[in-house]
């Protein structure tokens, strides 16, 4: 680890100004940042501790829920209203990491965690995301965990957050505070595709903070669920996951939000699947037909083609649960 | 008065461990300690052309950056004969002695600084220029040109082949046949305590605090590296936080710490990072095994052909006993077993719990399940039909064998008769249910060991031996043995281990500590009791009351104006190994639940039933066994080293990416012991218990997966994509 300065700003103005300095990094729970610093996969010369800022509460309004960026994953997971009205969020959180990590890790930090691509954290090997222009060894290497959607020749790393997948399905927005303005961005537009610049992962500007996530309360959000498939039963990122939110009208689906994780370079909505579900009967045949559409744009590499089928099954599994079918 | 042997005595070192008072290697901080951090090679083969240390040396607090350009040439005197824990062919890696890079992750420099963070920063700033060459990093390719190990006259070398009868002819003629290949990836020990060394020179004497399973070997090996007499080196290691075989050898980083301490003239601590540990020590080698079983219509084996290919490094031939299980498990009249090596640009593998035996046993037990199906027999019946009444390979009787009882107790407890006969025959909601089983065995060994016992004025006894305790409970078991031999309370016995100044002991590995060191402790304490009695024949020692006994010892010593009475004994194995084949046996049963749509898998139940001679402490024995069984679960479902063939580098060298199983993978695990007392291996009746617990678990689980799904998966670990038949 390289030496760094440490500061603890008193308000968000100060924080944003400090965060805009070259080499600066915000630190919240530190559960992702510190391992990266220790391994040298990221270098920061100034750590700006934002834990003192007033963004830790969870507020419920008729229009939706405001989840403060500094609320801990464990606090959000234990929030009763979230559990009732946005079950996919709580399920995604409880399927993430371990209780110990969740006690420290924050909601904002979760959305900004870096990929688990095997090459990203090992500084002895090339990686475009870590060292732009150095190459992408995952392309022809150990890519079983990598993305089948949204990749480019520069990078096929998945976005690892479970929470972000649930939020994407629920039309959540990210609330950002910059030096000069506050803005809201749909979660699905917050992360960027890798393209030729896989090192730039979000639309955040220098010094800009995530201060909250807003989730609209809808008929869909109440009937939502998160299904995660992984290589071990706990304490492991998704091999493939699916969030499904459906609004039912009798036994017909009025509207559905479907997002998948572990398969794409960013939290990934599936509009073609949603379109196939809208207006159809809520039954296994519908789910199967709709899920079939999910794999159309997939571009697998040598070791991850199985994710196409696994993704379809995860979608069917999540829909079956969200549709309250046996 | 009840014996302590056989009782579930609490761990005597438990309170210290729970309170953080147990001092592990990296907890030692001698005054003036400096810290070393390794710079590891980023290429798999080639040379270091240039090492630029300017930026590293400019880091505040840096004392030195050591590498082949400035390191002293060390003696590296050969050990004659080689130790049982070192490969018999090839040369161990010599630290910083030349510019050659033999594998990715090889230590090529060491930054030493006042603080660990300074050393880490300096290590990161060392700029290395390499001349890289094409490396041999692809096991599939390397195994195509696999060759027999070179033969060596060294003791402990293993045969590269086993033969009895004409197995190929018998296989060709067999009416029932199985011919299958099984792949098992490299597995890593991942003990919770990282390896580490603290080295301190006092003039020409060296003290090492080192994570090791064998202080005596560590001492001798490092003395040879520096070309100094053995007794100039002292190795201390009272506690080991898990090792599983990874701390048997004196690894290159141990020599590096000692070299650094010599150069900077201060004590130096060296603890490799978690990523570095994957290449600083060894691992279970990757293997591919082809197994052919020939049998009659009735399932009676007529032929076993077992071909093993295992990876090793380019600089040492590490070999394992993988072909032994096929020779010993069942009563087949013919056998051909061949062991082949695939040398690669990797660090040398090393023993990992039940080395070789667990590997070979895996192939045999997976193939037996396939044969059971081919013959239309229940897998347990097939095993009973081929029960080996003696060791057909060594042509020796077993010293004891209660495997039949293990099968019976296990089948009864587990409810084996409820096994769905056909694949995917039983469902519980969305879960398919499958049962599987496997046999297990592990050869029991014993080696010479010494112990010292000292009766003190207060009637307590201090017993010592240079043994190790990596967690199984050596402290507790030896305390029980001593307490029984001297008829003392547990609290009146103080057992000390893990210091090369103590009476010599063999490796704390191979499940032989109890049989070896236990026998020595038993003998020393018996001798001490006799000596005490001989002080005064008129006194009748109250051997049936432990507290009275302690007082009696105290009075005896006082009356004879002695402040202590001592005995030291060396206990050696006899000729039992020439007259008997000595093994621990076990039967493992598994129930799995699989969602066939989502590929979710849970092991609902694991039951191991063991016949391992006398069980000294059922509590620590159970803990030992369920731990081993969880290791087997990892082997079956989650653990695998993933090398990048082009970079020649292990890419999942972290505990986030190398997946050890977690509690949620396993819903219930139980270990049972059938009563047994082995009359041949030593006075305590034990056969050793540790390695056996990992054996048989993976095949039991994989066989259960077949029973649930009808899918034969012949490559470990069984990940969701394989369950779905997608890769
Ligand atoms: C062992 C382990 C297992 C895990 N398993 C899972 C899993 O299964 N699923 C899953 O989704 N996640 C998992 N995680 C990831 C974990 O959820 C994240 O590490 C955590 O949520 C990050 O939050 P933090 O507060 O610790 O962020 P930090 O580490 O403090 O920060 C992470 C990044 O976000 C930036 N940042 C943090 N807060 C803000 C803010 N408010 N505004 C702007 N920038 C900010 C930091 O600068 C940094 O770049 C796991 C982590 C670990 C260590
Ligand atoms: S996929 Fe992305 S993160 Fe992984 S090696 Fe390639 S560039 Fe790096």
In degrees and rounded to multiples of 5, residue A135 shows phi and psi of: 115, 170
- Across the interface, do B659 and A140 touch by the CB < 8 Å criterion? no
With H, G, I as helix, E, B as strand and everything else as coil, classify residue B526: helix
Contact B669, B495 (CB under 8 A): no
pLDDT of residue B423 exceeding 80: no
Q: Is the CB of A141 under 6 A from ligand 2?
A: no
| Nearest CB partner across the interface for A309, out of B117, B664, B726 | B726
**SS3 annotation, chain A:** CCCCEEECCCCHHHHHHHHCCCCEEEECCCCCHHHHHHHCCCCCCEEEECCCCCCCCEEECCCEEEEECCCEHHHHHCCHHHHHHCHHHHHHHHCCCCHHHHHHCEHHHHHHCCCCCCCCCCCCCCCCCCCCCCCCHHHHCCCCCCCCECCECCECCCCCCCHHHHHHHCCCEEEEECCCCEEEEEHHHHECCCCCCCCCCECCCCCCEEEEEEEECCHHHHCEEEEEECCCCCCCCCCEEEEEEEEEECCEEEEEEEEEECCECCCEECHHHHHHHCCCECCHHHHHHHHHHHHCCCCCCCCCCHHHHHHHHHHHHHHHHHCCCC
Domain annotation for chain A: domains and CATH numbers: 223-322 (3.30.390.50)
Q: Is the CB of A138 under 6 A from ligand 2?
A: yes
Domain B394-446+580-727: state its class.
Answer: alpha beta
Integer Cα distance of B272 and B254 in angstroms: 10
Q: Where are the beta strands (DSSP E) in B260-329?
A: 268-270, 287-295, 301-313, 316-317
In terms of CA atoms, which chain B residue is nearest residue A141? B644
- Does residue B657 sit at the A interface (CB-CB below 8 Å)? yes
Contact B498, B239 (CB under 8 A): yes
Mean pLDDT value across residues A267-279: 98
Integer Cα distance of A187 and A261 in angstroms: 14
Q: Which residues contact A250 (CB under 8 A, 6 or more apart)?
A: none
pLDDT band at residue A326 under the 50/70/90 scheme: very low
Torsion of CA A213, A195, A139, A265, to 10 degrees: 20
- Across the interface, do B104 and A3 touch by the CB < 8 Å criterion? no
Distances (CA, A) of B177 to B295, B370, B377, B423, B439: 6, 9, 14, 20, 20
- Does residue A239 sit at the B interface (CB-CB below 8 Å)? yes
Token pair of B165 as six digits: 């009868």
Beta-strand relationship, B669-673 and B600-611: parallel
CATH T-level fold of B32-134+192-242+247-280: Aldehyde Oxidoreductase; domain 4 (3.30.365)
Counting beta carbons within 10 angstroms of the beta carbon of residue A288, is it exposed (0 to 12), middle (13 to 18) or buried (19 or more)? middle
From chain B, pick out residues whose CB is under 8 angstroms from the CB of A233. 600, 602, 662, 664-665
From chain A, pick out residues whose CB is under 8 angstroms from the CB of B659. 231-232, 236
Integer Cα distance of B352 and B349 in angstroms: 9
What spacing in Å lies between the alpha carbon of A217 and ligand 1's midpoint? Answer: 25
Integer Cα distance of A30 and A319 in angstroms: 35
Residue nearest to atom 27 of ligand 1 (CA): A109
**Domain extents in chain B:** 14-22+447-572, 32-134+192-242+247-280, 394-446+580-727
pLDDT band at residue A122 under the 50/70/90 scheme: very high
| Nearest CB partner across the interface for B662, out of A140, A144, A235 | A235
- Does residue A313 sit at the B interface (CB-CB below 8 Å)? yes
Residue nearest to atom 17 of ligand 1 (CA): A110
Integer Cα distance of B129 and B131 in angstroms: 7
Question: Which ipTM did the prediction report?
Answer: 0.97
Token match 């007529």: residue? B302
- Does residue B192 sit at the A interface (CB-CB below 8 Å)? no
Residues in chain B: 727
Which helix (H) or strand (E) covers residue B239, if one does? none
| Nearest CB partner across the interface for A137, out of B40, B644, B721 | B644
Contact B184, B366 (CB under 8 A): no
| Nearest CB partner across the interface for B661, out of A125, A142, A232 | A232
Q: Using CB atoms and an 8 Å cut-off, which of residues 62-101 of chain B contact chain A?
A: none
Q: Is the CB of A32 under 6 A from ligand 1?
A: yes
Residue B462's pLDDT is what?
98
- Does residue B646 sit at the A interface (CB-CB below 8 Å)? yes
Residue B1's pLDDT is what?
84
Contact B465, B450 (CB under 8 A): yes
Beta-strand relationship, B197-202 and B268-270: antiparallel
Q: Distance (Å) from the C-alpha of residue B720 to the closest C-alpha of chain A? A: 7
Q: Which residues contact B643 (CB under 8 A, 6 or more apart)?
A: A142, B137, B138, B139, B186, B346, B649, B650, B651
Name which of B695, B623, B680 is nearest B445 in CA terms: B680
Q: Is the CB of A107 under 6 A from ligand 1?
A: no
Largest CA distance in chain A: 61
| Nearest CB partner across the interface for B720, out of A125, A137, A231 | A231
Token pair of A279 as six digits: 């207006």
For the segment B164-185, what is each residue's pLDDT rounded down to a tens digit?
999 999 999 999 999 999 999 9
Mean pLDDT value across residues B55-76: 98
Average pLDDT, chain B: 97
Mean pLDDT value across residues B533-562: 93
Strands of the B100-101 sheet, one edge to the other: B100-101, B46-52, B127-132
Task: Tell me which of B193, B316, B324, B691 is the catalytic residue.
Answer: B691
For the segment B667-696, what is each residue's pLDDT rounded down to a tens digit?
999 999 999 999 999 999 999 898 999 999
For the segment B607-635, what is each residue's pLDDT rounded down to a tens digit?
999 999 999 999 999 999 999 999 999 99
Specify whether B691 is catalytic.
Answer: yes
Contact A41, A120 (CB under 8 A): yes
Token pair of B169 as six digits: 């002819």
For the segment B428-482, what is each residue's pLDDT rounded down to a tens digit?
899 999 999 999 999 999 999 999 999 999 999 999 999 999 999 999 999 999 9
Residue B66's pLDDT is what?
98
| Nearest CB partner across the interface for B121, out of A2, A227, A317 | A2
Q: Distance (Å) from the C-alpha of residue B136 to the closest C-alpha of chain A? A: 15
Q: Is the CB of A136 under 6 A from ligand 2?
A: yes
Distances (CA, A) of B588 to B358, B611, B628, B693, B702: 13, 12, 12, 9, 12
pLDDT of residue B540 exceeding 90: no
- Which residues make beta-bridge pairs with A27? A49
Torsion of CA A24, A26, A32, A35, to 10 degrees: 40
Torsion of CA B47, B48, B50, B54, to 10 degrees: 180
pLDDT of residue B422 exceeding 90: no
pLDDT band at residue B424 under the 50/70/90 scheme: low
From chain B, pick out residues whose CB is under 8 angstroms from the CB of A239. 720-721
- CB neighbourhood size of B670 (10 A): 16
From chain A, pick out residues whose CB is under 8 angstroms from the CB of B130. none
Q: Which residues contact B722 (CB under 8 A, 6 or more apart)?
A: B713, B715
Name which of B588, B593, B536 is nearest B695 in CA terms: B588
Integer Cα distance of B86 and B79 in angstroms: 10
Residue B727's pLDDT is what?
78
Q: Which residues contact B251 (CB under 8 A, 6 or more apart)?
A: B195, B280, B281
CA count, 13 A, side-chain hemisphere, A107: 31
For the segment B309-325, what is each residue's pLDDT rounded down to a tens digit?
999 999 999 999 999 99
Integer Cα distance of B215 and B221 in angstroms: 10
Integer Cα distance of A65 and A61 in angstroms: 6
- Does residue B656 sit at the A interface (CB-CB below 8 Å)? yes
Name which of B529, B547, B540 is nearest B492 in CA terms: B547
Q: How many CB pairs under 8 A join A and B?
A: 102
- Does residue A118 sit at the B interface (CB-CB below 8 Å)? yes
Cα–chain center distance at B223 = 24
In degrees and rounded to multiples of 5, residue B305 shows phi and psi of: -125, 120
CATH topology identical between B32-134+192-242+247-280 and B394-446+580-727:
yes
Strands of the B427-428 sheet, one edge to the other: B427-428, B431-443, B583-595, B600-611, B669-673
Contact B97, B74 (CB under 8 A): yes
- Does residue B719 sit at the A interface (CB-CB below 8 Å)? yes
Integer Cα distance of B191 and B352 in angstroms: 11
Residue A2's pLDDT is what?
85
Integer Cα distance of A102 and A94 in angstroms: 9
For the segment A213-261, what is each residue's pLDDT rounded down to a tens digit?
999 999 999 999 999 999 999 999 999 999 999 999 999 999 999 999 9
Q: Which atom from ligand 1 is nearest to the alpha carbon of A102?
A: 17
Torsion of CA B319, B320, B325, B327, to 10 degrees: 30
Beta-strand relationship, B390-391 and B107-113: unpaired
Mean pLDDT value across residues B341-361: 98
Q: Distance (Å) from the C-alpha of residue B549 to the closest C-alpha of chain A? A: 50
- Does residue A100 sit at the B interface (CB-CB below 8 Å)? no
With H, G, I as helix, E, B as strand and everything else as coil, classify residue B304: strand
pTM across the whole model: 0.98
Token pair of B411 as six digits: 């089948």
Name which of B358, B276, B386 is nearest B632 in CA terms: B358
Mean pLDDT value across residues B86-95: 97
pLDDT of residue A325 exceeding 70: no
Token pair of A131 as six digits: 């060292």
Token match 């048989």: residue? B696
Contact B481, B684 (CB under 8 A): yes
What spacing in Å lies between the alpha carbon of B633 and ligand 1's midpoint? Answer: 30
Q: Distance (Å) from the C-alpha of residue B625 to the closest C-alpha of chain A? A: 22
From chain A, pick out residues whose CB is under 8 angstroms from the CB of B643. 142
Nearest ligand for residue A139 CA: 2
Beta-strand relationship, A5-7 and A46-49: parallel
Residue nearest to atom 8 of ligand 2 (CA): A127
From chain B, pick out residues whose CB is under 8 angstroms from the CB of A118. 642, 651-652, 657
Q: Which atom from ligand 1 is nearest to the alpha carbon of A32?
A: 29
Architecture of the domain made up of B14-22+447-572: 2-Layer Sandwich (3.30)
What spacing in Å lies between the alpha carbon of A106 and ligand 1's midpoint? Answer: 6
From chain B, pick out residues whose CB is under 8 angstroms from the CB of A140. 646
Kindly give the interhelix angle for B618-637 and B697-709, rounded to the nearest 10 degrees: 50
């Amino acid at each position: 680890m390289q030496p760094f300065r440490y500061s603890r700003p008193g308000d968000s103005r100060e924080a944003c100004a400090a965060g805009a300095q070259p080499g600066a990094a915000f630190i919240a729970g530190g559960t992702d940042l510190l391992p990266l610093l220790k391994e040298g996969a990221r270098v920061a010369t100034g750590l700006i501790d934002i834990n003192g800022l007033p963004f830790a509460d969870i507020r419920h309004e008729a229009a939706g829920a405001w989840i403060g960026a500094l609320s801990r994953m464990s606090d959000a997971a234990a929030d009763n209203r979230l559990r009732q009205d946005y079950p996919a969020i709580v399920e995604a959180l409880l399927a993430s990491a371990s209780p110990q990590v969740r006690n420290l890790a924050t909601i904002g930090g979760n959305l900004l965690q870096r990929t688990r691509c095997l090459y990203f954290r090992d500084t002895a090997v090339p990686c475009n995301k870590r060292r732009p222009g150095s190459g992408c060894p995952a392309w022809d290497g150990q890519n079983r965990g990598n993305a089948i959607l949204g990749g480019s020749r520069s990078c096929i790393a998945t976005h690892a957050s479970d929470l972000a997948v649930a939020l994407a399905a629920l039309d959540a927005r990210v609330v950002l505070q910059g030096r000069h303005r506050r803005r809201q961005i749909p979660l699905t537009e917050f992360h960027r595709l890798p393209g030729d610049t896989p090192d730039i992962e979000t639309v955040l500007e220098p010094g800009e903070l995530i201060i909250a996530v807003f989730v609209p309360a809808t008929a869909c959000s109440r009937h939502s669920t998160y299904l995660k498939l992984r290589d071990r039963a706990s304490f492991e990122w998704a091999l493939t996951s699916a969030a499904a939110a459906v609004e039912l009208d009798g036994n017909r689906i009025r509207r559905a939000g479907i997002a998948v994780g572990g398969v794409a370079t960013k939290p990934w909505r599936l509009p073609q699947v949603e379109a196939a579900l809208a207006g159809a009967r809520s039954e296994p045949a519908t789910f199967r037909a709709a899920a079939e559409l999910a794999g159309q744009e997939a571009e697998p590499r040598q070791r991850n083609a199985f994710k196409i089928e696994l993704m379809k099954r995860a979608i069917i599994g999540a829909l079956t649960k969200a549709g309250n079918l046996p | 008065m009840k014996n302590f042997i056989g009782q579930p005595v609490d761990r005597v070192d438990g309170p210290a461990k729970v309170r953080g008072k147990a001092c592990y290697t990296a907890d030692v901080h001698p005054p003036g300690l400096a810290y070393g951090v390794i710079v590891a090679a980023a290429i798999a083969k080639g040379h270091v052309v240039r090492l630029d240390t300017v930026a590293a040396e400019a880091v505040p607090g840096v004392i030195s950056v050591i590498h082949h350009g400035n390191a002293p040439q060390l003696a590296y005197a050969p050990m004659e004969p080689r130790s049982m824990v070192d490969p018999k062919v090839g040369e161990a890696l010599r630290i910083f002695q030349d510019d050659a890079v033999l594998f990715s992750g090889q230590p090529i420099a060491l930054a030493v600084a006042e603080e660990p963070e300074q050393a880490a920063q300096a290590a990161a700033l060392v700029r290395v220029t390499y001349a890289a060459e094409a490396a041999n990093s692809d096991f599939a390719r390397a195994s195509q040109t696999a060759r027999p190990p070179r033969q060596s006259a060294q003791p402990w070398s293993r045969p590269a082949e086993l033969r009895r009868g004409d197995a190929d002819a018998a296989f060709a003629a067999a009416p029932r046949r199985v011919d299958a290949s099984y792949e098992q990836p490299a597995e890593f020990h991942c003990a919770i305590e990282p390896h580490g060394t603290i080295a301190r020179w006092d003039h020409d004497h060296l003290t090492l605090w080192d994570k090791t399973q064998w202080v005596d070997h560590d001492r001798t090996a490092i003395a040879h590296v520096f070309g100094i007499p053995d007794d100039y080196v002292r190795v201390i290691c009272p506690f080991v936080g898990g090792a599983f075989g990874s701390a048997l050898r004196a690894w290159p980083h141990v020599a590096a710490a000692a070299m650094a301490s010599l150069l900077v003239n201060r004590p130096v601590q060296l603890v490799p990072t978690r990523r570095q540990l994957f290449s600083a020590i060894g691992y279970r080698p990757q293997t591919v095994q082809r197994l052919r079983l020939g049998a009659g219509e009735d399932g009676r084996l007529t032929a076993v052909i077992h071909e093993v290919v295992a990876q090793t490094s380019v600089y040492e031939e590490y070999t394992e006993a993988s072909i032994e299980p096929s020779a010993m498990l069942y009563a087949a009249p013919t056998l051909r077993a061949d062991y082949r090596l695939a040398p690669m640009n990797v660090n040398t593998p090393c023993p990992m719990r039940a080395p070789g035996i667990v590997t070979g046993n895996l192939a045999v037990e997976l193939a037996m399940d396939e044969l059971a199906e081919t013959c239309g027999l229940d897998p347990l019946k097939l095993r009973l039909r081929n029960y080996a009444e003696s060791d057909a390979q060594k042509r020796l009787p077993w010293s004891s064998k209660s495997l039949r009882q293990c099968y019976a107790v296990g089948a009864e407890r587990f409810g084996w008769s409820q096994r769905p006969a056909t694949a995917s025959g039983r469902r519980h909601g969305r879960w398919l249910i499958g049962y599987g089983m496997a046999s297990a065995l592990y050869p029991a060994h014993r080696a010479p060991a010494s112990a010292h016992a000292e009766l003190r004025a207060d009637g307590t006894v201090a017993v010592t031996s240079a043994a190790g305790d990596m967690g199984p409970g050596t402290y507790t078991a030896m305390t029980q043995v001593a307490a029984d031999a001297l008829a003392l309370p547990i609290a009146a016995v103080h057992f000390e281990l893990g210091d090369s100044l103590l009476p010599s002991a063999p490796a704390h590995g191979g499940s032989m500590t109890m049989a070896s060191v236990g026998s020595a402790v038993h003998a020393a304490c018996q001798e001490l009791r006799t000596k005490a009695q001989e002080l005064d024949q008129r006194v009748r020692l109250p051997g049936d009351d432990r507290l009275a006994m302690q007082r009696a010892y105290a009075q005896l010593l006082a009356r004879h104006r002695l402040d202590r009475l001592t005995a030291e004994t060396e206990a050696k194995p006899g000729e039992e190994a020439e007259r008997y084949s000595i093994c621990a046996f076990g039967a493992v049963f598994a129930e799995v639940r699989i969602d066939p749509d989502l590929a979710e898998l849970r092991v609902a139940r694991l039951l191991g039933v063991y016949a391992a001679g006398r069980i000294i402490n059922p509590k620590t024995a159970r803990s030992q066994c369920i731990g081993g069984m969880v290791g087997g679960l990892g082997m079956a479902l989650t653990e695998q080293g993933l090398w990048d063939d082009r970079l020649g580098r292990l890419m999942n060298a972290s505990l986030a990416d190398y997946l050890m199983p977690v509690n949620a993978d396993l819903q219930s695990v139980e270990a049972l012991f059938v009563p047994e007392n082995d009359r041949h291996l030593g006075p305590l009746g034990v056969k050793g218990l540790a390695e056996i617990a990992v054996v048989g678990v993976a095949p039991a689980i994989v066989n259960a997966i077949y029973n649930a799904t009808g899918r034969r998966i012949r490559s470990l670990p069984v990940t969701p994509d394989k369950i779905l038949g997608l890769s």
